């Protein structure tokens, strides 16, 4: 039973709203007189009205307050405007028989749809991404949010695609075209908070929030309330059914105070969508291994531990959350490669508390590994990508580790050619919020040595300036020029090796162990399902490491590296991959 949002019925539409703080609710359809809705008890109001496709409507929840539908499927005029009845079932799916691809085949490419020209721009890029070796496009959140640009994490109408990115039918066409190319499409969803502008539920459904539990965004969402649980469960199912997304990435679930609900959500999704490959991935600072396959209902978690070790190994940075990872980087990287998480219950100096659960029993595919993503690039003051921070040969060695490791690799748009454009934090807030966001962001960096000087902090780009967004758009034309063409060729070659020699044998793969063999060097081994042993020897440092490994050569980052490894030396700044019985 659908509780939230409009439902098409014979002769019109059934409207429903949960407004427990309202004594009466009127449906206001443009061009028609307001119609009272019937109180159904427990805060619900319903109405069957003879209106259909294209009608614009809002709810009057108090004499001086008219609001959009919190489960609106489309908006006219932004988050403060009217909701629009949209027949999503009318889209003529060309790939109606698509059932998805298994998780172990995932090579994820994270994109900001706006920075790629909206839904149509992403659709035009699909053949290029398929040729690269990508198998899954992951869209940063696309729900309606204030303004025309932003990262998507300030959404307030989570059922409705942001009109600035394209119409609902254009999003459906993107997913349909991706399936035609054999590509999955995943969606990043935010179920842990609403943005600061346009979250009208605070005004007429205060029980939607728990004022006794606080998050970085304010009062926590109250998942003890059945109507709230239904809201987000139906939202998840809406994207998977009506748009045929192949999976969801759930943002910052550590800010959801009811972790048991997460497992309930995942199990409901799987029960209601049988026969499809639906992939559910967490971002979870708690490293709660119990949610992950094979025992839990989620496929994987973003492995921030892996990134947070690799980044200081490549850049030497140690401040902020890198303080937990900068010392003994090779040994910590070996733990991540052999066991998944670094933090499995140990005390975190950065958090001041224990973090994580044991993860060594999980398959390698339970972890999504990356060198860059929207957070790790965009949360830097100047949005620098790794090519601006790391030595090229060391970065190439880390790339080989990423793309040949049995963990699931994720790339960030433009990474594959070493894009020079930064990815900055950008917003499009109103005149009241914009200066608060700008100054708040600059204050965040005051604790870093490089930004102790107020004059330096003042150079941090203003998130609300339109040029901050346009500066973040990668220039695809770079990929045809050196040195970018060489970087692209490396990514394409490595992904070709992954598809041919590793992906077919990932189901059932197990880690055989990993060890530090130098200050910035590791040796890691896995047994694949065909009983071949995959060995990766990676040295990100400037000096050779004492290390021996043998097997059939799969990849060597520099000529002669495999022979040197067989003789007992792993050269500097290279990765060697071997396959053997």
Active site residues: 251, 283
Identify the sign of the CA torsion 327, 328, 329, 332. Answer: negative
| Distance between CA atoms of residues 516 and 521, nearest Å | 6
| Distance between CA atoms of residues 140 and 559, nearest Å | 39
Angle at 42 between CA 40 and CA 43, to 5 degrees: 75
| Distance between CA atoms of residues 119 and 111, nearest Å | 11
Task: Look at residues 503, 270, 480, 548 and name the one whose alpha carbon lies nearest to residue 409.
Answer: 503
11 class by beta-carbon count within 10 Å (0-12 exposed, 13-18 middle, 19+ buried): exposed
**What is the pairing mode between strands 353-354 and 75-76?**
unpaired
**What is the pairing mode between strands 574-580 and 533-539?**
antiparallel
> Diameter of the chain by CA atoms?
85
| Distance between CA atoms of residues 269 and 265, nearest Å | 6
| Distance between CA atoms of residues 251 and 129, nearest Å | 24
Q: What token pair was written down for 432?
A: 């009241």
**What is the pairing mode between strands 279-282 and 300-302?**
parallel
**What is the pairing mode between strands 552-556 and 574-580?**
antiparallel
| Distance between CA atoms of residues 327 and 333, nearest Å | 11
């Amino acid at each position: 039973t659908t509780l939230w949002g409009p439902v098409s019925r014979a002769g019109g539409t059934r409207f429903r709203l949960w407004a427990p703080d309202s004594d009466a609710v009127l449906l206001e359809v443009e061009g028609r007189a307001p119609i009272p809705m019937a109180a159904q008890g427990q805060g619900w109001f319903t109405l069957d009205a003879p209106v259909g496709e294209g009608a614009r409507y809002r709810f009057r929840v108090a004499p001086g307050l008219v609001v959009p539908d919190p489960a609106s499927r489309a908006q006219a005029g932004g988050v403060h405007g009217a909701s629009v009845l949209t027949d999503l079932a009318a889209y003529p799916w060309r790939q109606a028989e698509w059932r998805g691809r298994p998780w172990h085949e995932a090579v994820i490419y994270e994109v900001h749809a706006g920075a790629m020209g909206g839904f149509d721009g992403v659709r035009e890029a699909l053949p290029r991404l398929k040729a690269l070796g990508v198998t899954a496009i992951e869209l940063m959140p696309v729900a309606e949010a204030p303004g025309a640009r932003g990262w998507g994490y300030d959404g307030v109408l989570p059922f409705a695609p942001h009109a600035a990115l394209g119409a609902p039918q254009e999003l459906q066409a993107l997913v349909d075209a991706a399936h035609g190319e054999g590509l999955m499409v995943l969606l990043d969803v935010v179920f842990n908070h609403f943005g600061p502008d346009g979250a009208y539920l605070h005004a007429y459904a205060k029980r939607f929030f728990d004022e006794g539990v606080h998050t970085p965004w304010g009062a926590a969402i109250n998942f003890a309330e059945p109507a709230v649980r239904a809201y987000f469960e139906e939202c998840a199912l809406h994207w998977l059914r009506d748009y045929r997304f192949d999976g969801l990435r759930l943002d910052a679930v550590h800010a959801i105070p009811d972790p048991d609900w997460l497992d309930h959500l995942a199990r409901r999704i799987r029960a209601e969508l049988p026969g499809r490959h639906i992939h559910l991935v967490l971002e979870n600072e708690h490293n709660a291994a119990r949610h992950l396959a094979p025992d839990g209902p989620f496929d994987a978690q973003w492995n921030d531990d892996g990134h947070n070790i690799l980044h200081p190994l490549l850049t030497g940075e140690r401040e902020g959350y890198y303080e937990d990872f900068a010392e003994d980087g090779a040994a910590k990287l070996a733990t991540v490669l052999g066991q998944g998480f670094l933090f499995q219950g140990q005390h975190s100096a950065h958090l001041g508390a224990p973090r994580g659960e044991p993860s060594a029993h999980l398959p390698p595919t339970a972890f999504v590994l990356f060198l860059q993503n929207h957070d790790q690039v965009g949360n830097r003051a100047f949005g620098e990508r790794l090519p601006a921070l790391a030595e090229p040969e060391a970065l190439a060695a880390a790339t080989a580790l990423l793309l040949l490791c049995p963990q699931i690799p994720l790339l960030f748009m433009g990474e594959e050619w070493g894009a020079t454009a930064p990815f900055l934090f950008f917003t499009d807030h109103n005149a009241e919020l914009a200066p608060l966001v700008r100054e708040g962001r600059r204050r965040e960096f005051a604790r870093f040595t490089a930004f102790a000087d107020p004059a330096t902090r003042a150079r941090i780009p203003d998130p609300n300036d339109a040029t901050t967004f346009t500066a973040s758009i990668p220039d695809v034309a770079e990929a045809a020029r050196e040195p970018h063409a060489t970087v692209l060729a490396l990514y394409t070659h490595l992904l070709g090796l992954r598809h041919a020699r590793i992906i077919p044998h990932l189901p059932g793969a197990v880690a055989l162990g990993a060890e530090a063999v130098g200050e910035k060097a590791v040796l890691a081994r896995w047994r694949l399902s065909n009983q071949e042993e995959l060995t990766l020897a990676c040295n990100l440092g400037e000096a050779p490491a004492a290390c021996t490994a043998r097997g059939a050569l799969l990849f060597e980052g520099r000529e002669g590296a495999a022979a040197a490894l067989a003789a007992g030396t792993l050269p500097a700044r290279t990765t060697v991959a071997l396959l053997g019985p």
